[in-house]
Amino acid sequence: MEKAGKSTLKISFQRGTVPALLQGLRKSSSAEEPHDPTPGVDVGTFHIPGVGEVSLWDFAGQAEYAVTHSMFMDAENTISIVLYNIMDDTQEQDVHRWLSFIKSSNPNRQPDVILVASHADKVPPTSGQRQAAHLLQLMKAEFQDHLRISDEVFLMNCKETRTPEMDRLKKLLAKMKKAMLEIIFTCPSSSDPIIVLKPNWLCTDVFGPTMAPKTFSIHLRRSRPKSDDYMYVTREEIQRVFQDVADVDLLITLLHEFQLCHSYDGQTFIFPGLLTQTMPGQVWQPTQEPKVVYFGKQVQCADSTDMFSSGFFPRVQTRLMREQENRPLLWRDGAKCVDRNVEGLIKLSPDGRAANICVRSAQGDKAQCGKMLQQLENIIADVLDECSPGTGTEEKVLSARALKEHREEFYSYGKEEISKAAAEGGTIVHPSLGFTEQVSDLLCREHEDPLTRNRPELVQALRHVEPILDRLLACGILGDDEPDRIRAKETPQDKARELLDIVGRKGERARREFTAVLEEVNPHAAAMVQDGAGALLCEEDDPLIRNRPGLIRDLTSSYAVETILNHLLSRGHISEEECGIIRAKRTPHDKARELLDIVRRKGAAARQVLREALEEVTPHLAEMVV
């Protein structure tokens, strides 16, 4: 955290007995030492007396540098020391934000965390200890399922080395220390990994100056109307700033591959992380066109421990610049796109915990609205998977009427509310606004391609693409070089995305062959790409739909879900891969949704096994599935 004393603590860690004694004998000064903030991330390997050889990563607390932090927060075999200033009024919010940040980067493990309060010399010892202990208990209670936070309370003056608190901290570190692994930084957008042999060069000499707010003389381009102004950095400025660091072409390649910037001409570069202007209201004005239609989705954090990483929205904006045919308009908290007769808007909520996606067509083109809406959803889902994989999210449907009325806030419906309303006549009443809408006016799903509509789920389901590639190559759907392009992608998710993109461009025959192959090797994924899959939620007489909200609300016990999976697996109704898909979902509610969807597609026998398992672990839910 900013001015918490992380860099000072790092120096104190390294002092042995004699240097510490000399430091204590120095004449103290009544004046405060000037604050010299860490530029980005300072990396070094040090020997800490009593602990041993460690690699220390000092993350800057200033918000402008946090854009790149998520690239390094998922390293395994690490201990995170969250240092905060006991004097700050915002200490609880600051600690909570950092713990949420650590959680967001680590979906499959519980990282070790130590909370340390600094500036012990500024508070009475008793009240300071009580305050630090209270904050520790609050954080442990909230993050108990996500992080392993040490029980020990630390309140220390980071400038002092020979203290009982420092000795306790070193002993705890020595106890928790594990073998450190070599760290390799990879870029999600590149087919080849980038290996950085000097991490401190990348983090401090490159990322630090790049994200510092005063490094570049930001230019404002006014080649279009004022609302379309955008800020850019010239190639000459990049060369001036980094002339003693590295070749300018290498620097630009690195910044591009880490998705920190984009250029349309090779001479001027837009850095979304440097944007400061908020979205002006005039860029999304009401229209009087009688045929205009609005649609929208909301992706919000699932609970209080979740957050979008600081790099999330800048990376979304970089992806928009690279993937949209027309240049999007960008602001610190928003982005606007135009494609044919459809306009799209992505707007962050004021607290940064929700991304609202809106599309509209003055000509009433519902099909094109559906395509753009899904494109924007896919970008958000992909970026979340890249830089906030541990963030639990909940997807909602925005009120079309509220969007058309251009209300200041975004109003939404939960998916369970939509499903229930569709089964009970097709009308829905907004719980806070009180007006009634037709479900058909909220959704444009009937016009969506199943490959696009279910893309996030397909990306997770298609973890093993090799048997699919072999069969598609044999039947002539894939060209000779296309399997290699797919295999060259770094992660299973990226391989699945490339496969879906290639198949999606090849027309109806390719989709039919793709579906046939999936029916053979991955029936669960096959159901997602069949045209009827999107209509599963409209059967009024299906108890799994009628009672879906209650089932999802109450089926959150890990023990209950695992018991059900074991029953279904042992009876041959689901596969190991399908169990993995369910377990990979971020929140208990998402696991319950995926479980119910899979069971619905499996037929009556699977439903009976589900009921038997529920009777064993949660009897009151068993009556809701028949």
Higher pLDDT, 228 or 587: 587
Who's near 392: CB < 8 A, 6+ residues apart? 301, 302, 303, 306, 586, 587, 590
Q: How confident is the model at residue 229 (pLDDT cuts 50, 70, 90)?
A: low
In the three-class reduction of DSSP (H, G, I as helix; E, B as strand; rest coil), residue 233 is classed as strand
Give pLDDT, residue 486.
92
Give pLDDT, residue 13.
57
Across 311-321, average pLDDT: 94
Give pLDDT, residue 218.
67
Q: Determine the longest span between alpha carbons in the chain, in angstroms.
A: 82
Q: How confident is the model at residue 447 (pLDDT cuts 50, 70, 90)?
A: very low
Higher pLDDT, 437 or 554: 437
Give pLDDT, residue 18.
38
The phi and psi torsions of 534 (rounded to 5 degrees) equal: -70, -15
| pLDDT of 151 strictly over 60 | yes
How many other C-beta atoms can be found within 10 angstroms of the C-beta atom of residue 564? 24
**Comparing 84-93, 137-146, 221-230, 303-312, which segment has the lowest mean pLDDT?**
221-230
Give pLDDT, residue 70.
77
| pLDDT of 553 strictly over 80 | no
Q: Rg of the chain over CA atoms, in angstroms? A: 27
What CATH number does domain 539-625 carry, 3.40.80.10, 3.40.50.620, 3.30.750.24, 1.10.533.10? 1.10.533.10
> Domain 281-446 - what CATH class?
alpha beta
Across 539-555, average pLDDT: 73
Give pLDDT, residue 222.
42
| pLDDT of 90 strictly over 80 | yes
Across 437-449, average pLDDT: 75
CATH for 6-176? Answer: 3.40.50.300
Q: How confident is the model at residue 445 (pLDDT cuts 50, 70, 90)?
A: low
Higher pLDDT, 544 or 351: 351
Higher pLDDT, 2 or 508: 508
Q: How far apart are CA 308 and CA 277, in angstroms?
A: 20
Contact between 13 and 79 (Cβ < 8 Å): no
> Residue 294 is encoded by which pair of tokens?
């609005």
Give pLDDT, residue 19.
42
Higher pLDDT, 498 or 415: 498
How many other C-beta atoms can be found within 10 angstroms of the C-beta atom of residue 188? 19
Indicate the pairing of strand 112-118 with strand 79-85: parallel
Q: Write the pLDDT tens digit of every residue in 371-382.
A: 899 889 989 988
Contact between 155 and 117 (Cβ < 8 Å): yes
Q: Which residues pair with 56 in a beta bridge?
A: 44
Give pLDDT, residue 437.
95
Where does residue 373 rank: exposed (0-12), middle (13-18), buried (19+ CB within 10 A)?
buried
Q: How far apart are CA 504 and CA 450, in angstroms?
A: 10
Show me where the domains of the chain are located: 6-176, 199-270, 281-446, 450-537, 539-625
| pLDDT of 3 strictly over 70 | no
CATH for 450-537? Answer: 1.10.533.10
Q: How far apart are CA 78 and CA 59, in angstroms?
A: 14
Q: Write the pLDDT tens digit of every residue in 389-411.
A: 888 888 899 999 999 999 989 99
> What mean pLDDT is reported for the chain?
81
| pLDDT of 557 strictly over 90 | no
Residue 293's H or E segment, with its range, is strand 293-301
Task: Report which of 375, 372, 418, 367 is spatially closest to residue 395, judged by C-alpha positions.
Answer: 418
Instruction: Judge if 450-537 and 539-625 fold alike in CATH terms.
Output: yes
Give pLDDT, residue 37.
55
Q: Write the pLDDT tens digit of every residue in 162-205.
A: 788 888 888 888 887 653 333 333 333 333 444 445 677 888 88
